[in-house]
C-alpha cells in the first residue's frame, strides 16, 4: 500500500531528561523519514500554538493592506536576500507575495509599522524557530551517526538564517501553481500553513501535507543532502494553490553562513569506499545562483539552478 502521509514525531522526550527510550524511538523514526522522504512533521516542539496563530493572524492582516501600504516595506538595496515585502516577478510561475526577515537585530530587516506588534511577534517566533532548529540539528547529527556536536560546530553562525511569511493568491480555473517544484538550498526548513497546499514528491507521487494544528513540517534541505552524500534527502516539494481562497504559510530556513565550504563528508565517502556525489562549493556562490533563479526566472525550466549543478556525474 502506498503511504499517503509523511511521518509525525512527538519531540516531548527531548524535553524530559529521563525519557531516553523515547528519544531513541524519535531518532529511529527521523532517520527513516530523512532517508525515505526528507520530510516529517514535529509536534511538542516548544513553539507555543498561540504564538503560531498570532503570527498567522498578523501576517494575514498585513497582506490585506493596499499595495501602496505594503510597498512601504520594500527591501533596501544591497542585501544578500530581499528582506522586507516582495511580490514574485510577473513572469514567475510562482504566484505569491512574501515578507522576508533575517534574525532579530539584523540591519537588513525592514518591518511594517502596522499591524501593531508585528515586529515583536515575528522576532519572538523567529527566536523560537532558532531554538527548535538547534534541537532538530542535534537529532539529525545523531541520526547521521556524526561525532557529537559536529553539525553544531559546522553551522555555528546564525546570521544567514531567514524566515518568510507567505500569502498565495487563490487558484484560477486555468492554473494553480503556488511555488513550482523545488528543493530548499539551506540545511533544515520548518513550515506551517493555515490550509493545505504543500505537497511532497515520493517515488513519483505527490503526497499532500495536511495541516495539523500546532505541528511544524520539517524539510531536510540541500546542504544536509550534500554533506551526507545523499544519505538524507532534500525532498522535492511544491505548493498547489487552493481554489477560491488565499493560503498563508510561514517558512523558516536554518542556513549556514556564506563562507562555509560544502562537500560530502569523509564519513559518507572515503571512509566507506563511496565516491563523492558532489564537488565542493562555497555556500554563498550557490545561494547567489539560486537567488538569480528567483529575480530573473529563466524561461526554460532546465536553466534553473539546482544542487545538481555541483553533482559529479
Ligand X SMILES: O=C(O)CCC(=O)C(=O)O
Query: Is 122 a residue that touches ligand X (CB under 6 A)?
Result: no
> Are the beta carbons of 219 and 189 closer than 8 angstroms?
yes
DSSP string, 163-182: EEEEEEPPB-SS--EEEEEE
Q: Which residues pair with 199 in a beta bridge?
A: 208, 238
Q: Which stretch binds ligand X (CB under 6 A): 53-61, 73-81, 191-199, 227-235?
A: 191-199
DSSP string, 41-62: EEES-S--HHHHHHHHHHHHHH
Query: Is 184 a residue that touches Fe ion (CB under 5 A)?
Result: yes
Q: Residue 166 binds which one of Fe ion, ligand X, none, with CB within 5 to 8 A depending on kind?
A: ligand X
Query: Is 41 a residue that touches ligand X (CB under 6 A)?
Result: no
Which of 23/306 has CB closer to Fe ion?
Answer: 306
Distance in angstroms (rounded) separating the CA atoms of residues 309 and 223: 13
Distance in angstroms (rounded) separating the CA atoms of residues 34 and 45: 18
The neighbour count for residue 141, using CB atoms within 10 Å, is 20
Query: Which 208-237 positions form the footprint of ligand X (CB under 6 A)?
Result: 237
Residue from 6, 165, 187, 251 binding ligand X (CB under 6 A): 251
Give the cell for residue 107. Answer: 540591519
Q: Residue 239 binds which one of Fe ion, ligand X, none, with CB within 5 to 8 A depending on kind?
A: ligand X
Give the cell for residue 4. Answer: 499517503
Query: Is 193 a residue that touches ligand X (CB under 6 A)?
Result: yes
Q: Residue 11 binds which one of Fe ion, ligand X, none, with CB within 5 to 8 A depending on kind?
A: none
Which of 161/184 has CB closer to Fe ion?
Answer: 184
Backbone angles phi, psi at 128, to 5 degrees: -65, -45
Count the site residues for Fe ion by CB under 5 A.
Answer: 1
Which positions lie near Fe ion, rule CB under 5 A?
184
Which positions lie near ligand X, rule CB under 6 A?
164, 166, 179, 184, 191, 193, 198, 237, 239, 249, 251
Amino acid at each position: 500500500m502506498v503511504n499517503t502521509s509523511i511521518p509525525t514525531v512527538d519531540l516531548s522526550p527531548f524535553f524530559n531528561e529521563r525519557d531516553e527510550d523515547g528519544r531513541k524511538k524519535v531518532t529511529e523514526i527521523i532517520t527513516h523519514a530523512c532517508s525515505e522522504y526528507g520530510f516529517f512533521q514535529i509536534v511538542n516542539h516548544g513553539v507555543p500554538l498561540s504564538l503560531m496563530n498570532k503570527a498567522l493572524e498578523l501576517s494575514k492582516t498585513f497582506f490585506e493592506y493596499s499595495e501602496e501600504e505594503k510597498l512601504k516595506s520594500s527591501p533596501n538595496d544591497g542585501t544578500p536576500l530581499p528582506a522586507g515585502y516582495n511580490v514574485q516577478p510577473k513572469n514567475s510561475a510562482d504566484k505569491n507575495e512574501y515578507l522576508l526577515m533575517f534574525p532579530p537585530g539584523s540591519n537588513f530587516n525592514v518591518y511594517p509599522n502596522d499591524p501593531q506588534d508585528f515586529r515583536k511577534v515575528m522576532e519572538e517566533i523567529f527566536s523560537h524557530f532558532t531554538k527548535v532548529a538547534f534541537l532538530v540539528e542535534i537529532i539529525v547529527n545523531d541520526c547521521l551517526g556524526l561525532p557529537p556536536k559536529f553539525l553544531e560546530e559546522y553551522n555555528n553562525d546564525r546570521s544567514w538564517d531567514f524566515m518568510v511569511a507567505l500569502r498565495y493568491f487563490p487558484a484560477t480555473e486555468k492554473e494553480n501553481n503556488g511555488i513550482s517544484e523545488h528543493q530548499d538550498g539551506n540545511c533544515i526548513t520548518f513550515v506551517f500553513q493555515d490550509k493545505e497546499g504543500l505537497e511532497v514528491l515520493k517515488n513519483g507521487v505527490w503526497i499532500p501535507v495536511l495541516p495539523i494544528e500546532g505541528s511544524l513540517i520539517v524539510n531536510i534541505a540541500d546542504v544536509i543532502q550534500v554533506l551526507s552524500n545523499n544519505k538524507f534527502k532534500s525532498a522535492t516539494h511544491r505548493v498547489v494553490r487552493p481554489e477560491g481562497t488565499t493560503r498563508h504559510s510561514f517558512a523558516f530556513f536554518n542556513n549556514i553562513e556564506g563562507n562555509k565550504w560544502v562537500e560530502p563528508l569523509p564519513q559518507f565517502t572515503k571512509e566507506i569506499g563511496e565516491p563523492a556525489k558532489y564537488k565542493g562549493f562555497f555556500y554563498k556562490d550557490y545561494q547567489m545562483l539560486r537567488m538569480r533563479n528567483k529575480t530573473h526566472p529563466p524561461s526554460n525550466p532546465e536553466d534553473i539552478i539546482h544542487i545538481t549543478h555541483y553533482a559529479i556525474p
